[in-house]
Amino acid sequence: MILTVTANPALDVSYRVDRLRPGHTHRIGAVFERAGGKGFNVSRVLHDQGVPTLALGPVGGILGDSLRADLIDSGLPHELLPVAAATRMTIAVVADEATMFNEPGGPLADADWARLRDLVRSHLPNTDVLVCSGSLPLDAPVDTYAGFVRLAHGVPTVVDAGGPVLLAAAEAGVSVVKPNAEELAAAVGHDDPLKGARELRALGAETVVVSLGAEGTIAATPDGEWRAALPKPVAGNPTGAGDAAVAALAFGIRTGLTWPERLRLAVAWSGAAVAAPLAGSVDWDVLAELENEVTVSPI
């Protein structure tokens, strides 16, 4: 089973408009709502592929009730921790590209963090890969995900985060970190992704996979360094592309694929997620077209 932890869940709302015009009233063409947060998106992609997964996260307030109801309706295996802090909302306005508005998420009490750690610990005996993904709520310790990495005790771990949270996970000996270029730059203080990946490995991360958007992905691993990319960008909503990549990496770890094979899957799943209307979804018809188009080459 792949266990995902979303420390800062959200009710994701997507608006589709013909074009975005600041200072003007917009008529919304379509509205989509679903339980969000990066870990939930990872679990959705895995569940749709028939991969055993369980999604964990703290929820509270009216939006927390909506998030819980959506997970039940979707059939996604989950266990939610009731907390006093209200669940946040994120809004994506999608025209030619997505414009995001992300609320911060209310702070969790120390007792709630302890309860979340206990919940994660209770599922580790049946876990093949632990994924900790997304932002942290206000006032959360920067070593929150690092603590889950240490808690895992040899269970492979994947962390998708940025800045100090990313550095702490690397120092804790995480199996894989998967920042995008901006998150990596915020952590290492410069915008050279390969150099930054090597620096995170020097800190203690076993493998560093960096998403570069339309330019593909680079990875620094114990087995070598690679670049993986599609021949051309996929049009659509990139909001959940990184989550699909994380799902593919976790799946590759669970099934024992080589690193080039994992990167090929990650780029293909990511591209197919861009073609899907909502984060946490993959256009499987597009995926069938992309799987043989990914190039993986040594750096």
Residue 21 lies in a domain: no
Question: Tens digits of per-residue pLDDT, 162-198?
Answer: 999 999 999 999 999 999 999 999 999 999 999 999 9
Q: How far apart are the first and last CA of the chain?
A: 32
Residue 72 CB partners (closer than 8 Å, separation 6+): none
Q: What is the pTM of this model?
A: 0.91
Question: Tens digits of per-residue pLDDT, 234-292?
Answer: 877 777 889 999 999 999 999 999 999 999 999 999 998 888 877 778 888 888 888 88
Residue 71 CB partners (closer than 8 Å, separation 6+): 35, 40, 55, 78, 80
Residue 16 lies in a domain: no
Per-residue pLDDT at 98 exceeds 80 = no
Domain count, the chain: 1
Residue 26 lies in a domain: no
Per-residue pLDDT at 157 exceeds 90 = yes
Residue 231 sits in a domain of what CATH number? 3.40.1190.20
* Domain coverage including residue 275: 2-9+37-87+105-298
